[in-house]
Amino acid sequence: MDCRVICVGKRMPDWVDDAVGEFARRFTHPIRFDVLTTGTAKRGRADNPSVYKDSEGKALLALVRDNEWVVALDVGGKMRSTEQLSQWLDKKLLDARPLAFLIGGPDGLSDECRARANETWSLSDLTLPHGLARIVVVEALYRANSLRCGHPYHRA
């Protein structure tokens, strides 16, 4: 099953790219894991932030495949424990439908992205920088998959 994190922001600090790359590399069959990025909209002092969200949202949605189950990362979404995420991932593997997780830019996700999403997931009540959110998503999915497979990475 394909599992893709699609996010805004091509230029991240090395520590973000290193952490995301490390966890993404660890995924094994049956999950094929990938991270795709699109550029952040150029910002001007007088522009309305909704213009950026809309522009970045269109770029994100251009990378989403028609058959993917889309999960929008949003503070208003459903929170899950690691165990709940593992059970959710197990069900999604049975569905065999590819997954796409959308992470917005500095101004969040567009309404169009939220409308396309099949569900929303909240990592925390905190607002996280999108680079850190990227790491948390990939690690949480890796941990949930490890738990699902009986791998010792998860030791709660």
Residue 38, strand partner residues: 8
- Per the domain annotation, does 36 fall within a domain? yes
- Per the domain annotation, does 122 fall within a domain? yes
- Per the domain annotation, does 141 fall within a domain? yes
Q: So what's the pLDDT on residue 8?
A: 94
- Per the domain annotation, does 100 fall within a domain? yes
The list of the chain residues with pLDDT below 50 reads: none
Backbone CA torsion sign across 64, 32, 155, 94: positive
Q: So what's the pLDDT on residue 149?
A: 86
Domain that holds residue 50: 2-149
Lookup result for tokens 């002092």: 45
Domain count, the chain: 1
CATH of the domain at 103: 3.40.1280.10
- Per the domain annotation, does 22 fall within a domain? yes
- Per the domain annotation, does 32 fall within a domain? yes
- Per the domain annotation, does 155 fall within a domain? no
The residue among 35, 32, 138, 39 whose CA lies nearest residue 85 is 138
- Per the domain annotation, does 154 fall within a domain? no
Cβ-in-10-Å burial (0-12, 13-18, 19+) of 80 comes to middle
